[in-house]
Structure 1
Amino acid sequence: MNGSVEASKQFKVGDHIGWQQPGANNTEVYTQWATSKRFHVGDSLSFEYQNDSVLVVEKWDYYHCNINKPISSFDDGNTVINLDRPGLFYFISGVPDHCKKSQKLMIQVMGLHQRAESSPGIPSKPEVGLAPGPHPSSSGIVVTVTLTSVFLALILTVVTMDIETLNWSKDSGQSNYENDSPRFIRTIC
């Protein structure tokens, strides 16, 4: 099975309502709109608006509705923004207080579109390589959990061996190891 890149898509932000300050009863409109879509590198967003603007901002500016330090600013009424990298993108209105009234958009962009293709009559060769790793945002957690698990397994192994040795020593009468065991366990923990 070969993968090929699908055609890019252009998404009209907000669909039929476009880019405008949401009504008081519809403050989640852009969040709901974004969660109903799947964005990929190569796609684009079309912002259609009147008497407004679009600011591309950093995460902090998005959450604090800071219009003073945009990465990019547009006020032409019909702005198309190309999604050129995977990751999060943040957009807010440049009109004071519109962002605070929920005119803001955060989207997650995935890698390139992939379409599965297969040549008829020719079985596809299995690809040789490494399995994909964890998602970048979770890799630190995986490493931490793995290292913690290994460390705990090591401690349990040492303690178990220590207890087994203690029991063996008592049964055979070879040494007075039980006085050393608690100190050894205290040192590890």
Structure 2
Amino acid sequence: MASPSSPVIPCIVFLVTFISAAMNSHVVGASKEFKVGDSEGWRQPPANQSALYSRWAAAIRFHVGDSLRFEYKNDSLLVVDKWGYYHCDTGKPISVFTDGDTVVSLDQPGFVYFISGQADHCLNGQHLAVKVIALRPIPRSPPSAANPPGLASAPSPFSSSAVSDSAAFVSISLALTASFMDLLWAP
């Protein structure tokens, strides 16, 4: 059997610290880069596809830390406010890009609006609004009079698969720790 003064104790402390850090890391997701429009890129959509970018964005959940890659030719990209988006106003952009390969970081939650620098392209559907969400756990609090038990509440921001993944990770980590301890303390 290992004695309490052996190097086993620091190993156990390290292992417990590692497992704790890994269990908390599931809240912070890996950032992703999305190519706007997929194979279509950033271009004026055909007449019968004016909702091209709206449909593309509706299929994706954008998180703080993600980025958008705009690939385009003979055009430009403007970051605008909500009014500029809905009115295809190229006169007061927040940012202007003309390099043909622009990566925009989504660094805060909320809506971000993009339009083509050519007003007629924007009017024909070359505009994009994305909703960026933050990944923060919502603290659980006891029910209040405003939200009594039994009434429907807002859904969790974490999918059930994320919870299942976390539970599986914890179970496996505990089993490995127990096996490791048995090996160290066995005669």
Quick check: TM above 0.5? Answer: yes
Mapping 1:121-160, distance limit 5 Å? none
Q: Which consecutive residues of structure 1, in runs of 5 or more, have no partner in the other structure? A: 123-189
The residue that corresponds to 1:119 in the other structure is 170
Inter-partner Cα distance in structure 2 for 1:96 and 1:34 = 21
1:5 deviates by 1.4
Q: Tell me the matched-pair count.
A: 123
Q: 2: CA distance between counterparts of 1:95 and 1:52?
A: 7
Amino acid at match of 2:73: Q
What is aligned with 1:32?
55
Give the corresponding residue for 1:131: none
Q: Which residue of 2 aligns with 1:13?
A: 36
Q: Which of the pair is proportionally richer in strand?
A: 1
Q: Distance in 1 between matches of 2:58 and 2:78?
A: 20
1:80 aligns with 2:103: yes
Higher radius of gyration, 1 or 2: 1
Q: Which of the numbers 58, 70, 74 marks the counterpart of 2:81?
A: 58
1:57 and 1:92 in contact (8 A); partners too? yes
Please tell me the root mean square deviation across aligned C-alpha atoms, in Å.
2.0
Give the fraction of aligned pairs with identical amino acids, expressed as a percent: 56
TM-score, normalised with respect to structure 1 = 0.61
Q: Which amino acid aligns with 1:80?
A: V
- State how far apart, in whole Å, the 1-side matches of 2:45 and 2:91 are: 22
AA of the residue aligned to 1:74:
F
- Partners of 1:45 and 1:87 in 2: how far apart? 15
CA distance in 2, matches of 1:86, 1:72: 18
Partner of 1:68: 91
| SS of alignment partner, residue 32 of structure 1 | helix
Distance 1:61 1:43 in 2: 23
Structure 2 counterpart of 1:119, which letter?
V
